[in-house]
Amino acid sequence: MNGQRPIVAAARRTPIGRIGGAFATTPIHELLSPVLTALLEDLGITGADVDDVIVGNAGGSGGNPARYAALTAGLGIEVPATTVDRQCGSGLEAVNLAARLVASGAGDIILAGGAESASTAPWRVERPAVPHGTPRFYARPHFVPAEYGDPDMGVAGENVARRGGISRERQDRFALASHRKAVEAARSGRYDAELVPVRVRVGRAAAVAVAADECPRPDTSMEKLARLGPAFVEGGTVTAGNSCPVNDGAAMVAVVSERKFRELGLSGGLRVVDSTVTGVDPVILGWGPVPAVRRLLKRNPGLELADVEVVEFTEAFAGQVLACLDELGIPEESVNRGGGALALGHPWGASGAVLVTRMFSDMFGTADPVAGRARYGLATLGAAGGLGIATLFERHPAD
Active site residues: 88, 346
Dihedral sign computed on CA atoms, order 342, 190, 364, 51 = positive
Question: What are the φ/ψ torsions at residue 70 (nearest 5 degrees)?
Answer: -60, -40
Instruction: Check residue 255 and report its DSSP letter.
Output: E
Q: Do 251 and 113 touch, CB atoms closer than 8 A?
A: yes
Q: Are strands 17-18 and 247-257 parallel, antiparallel or unpaired?
A: antiparallel
Angstrom distance (rounded) from CA 86 to CA 98 = 15
Q: What is the CA radius of gyration of the chain?
A: 20
Instruction: Please give the single-letter amino acid code of residue 102.
Output: V
Give 96-99 contacts, CB < 8 A, sequence gap 24+. 96/272, 96/275, 96/389, 96/391, 97/54, 98/6, 98/52, 98/54, 98/253, 98/255, 99/6, 99/255, 99/272, 99/275
For residue 92, which of 56, 127, 142, 133 has the smallest C-alpha distance?
A: 56
Q: Name the burial class of residue 43, with classes exposed (0-12), middle (13-18) and buried (19+) by CB atoms within 10 angstroms of its CB.
A: buried
What is the distance between the alpha carbons of residues 15 and 248, in angstroms, rounded to a whole number?
A: 9
* Crossing angle between the packed helical segments 65-72 and 28-43, to the nearest 10 degrees: 60
Angle ∠(73,79,85) on CA atoms, nearest 5: 80
8-state DSSP, 20: T
Q: How far is the CA of 123 from the CAs of 136, 149, 249, 351, in angstroms?
A: 11, 24, 19, 22
